Amino acid sequence: MRSPFPPGGTAWRRTRPHGALRDFKFMLNQVVPAIERGLLLSQVIAE
């Protein structure tokens, strides 16, 4: 059976690298609910 996606058959390239601000916003959105609701950070991340 032939592979539907042969090596090199699809073109994918990241348009831009992840920035530090994007990473900070992601973590902020994880930490704030944990503080506001009094939950453990591990519970918020698991959700």
Summarize pLDDT for 3-45 with one digit per residue, the tens.
677 776 677 776 777 788 999 999 999 888 878 777 677 877 7
Exposed / middle / buried, residue 44 (Cβ in 10 Å: 0-12, 13-18, 19+)? middle
Q: Per the domain annotation, does 38 fall within a domain?
A: yes
Determine the residue type at 6. Answer: P
Give me the number of domains the chain comprises.
1
Parent domain of 32: 19-47
Question: Residue 3: what pLDDT?
Answer: 67
Question: Residue 24: what pLDDT?
Answer: 92
Q: Per the domain annotation, does 2 fall within a domain?
A: no
Is the pLDDT assigned to residue 1 strictly greater than 70? no
Q: Per the domain annotation, does 11 fall within a domain?
A: no
Question: Residue 30: what pLDDT?
Answer: 87
Q: Per the domain annotation, does 40 fall within a domain?
A: yes
Question: Residue 33: what pLDDT?
Answer: 81
Q: Which two tokens stand for residue 8?
A: 């090199």
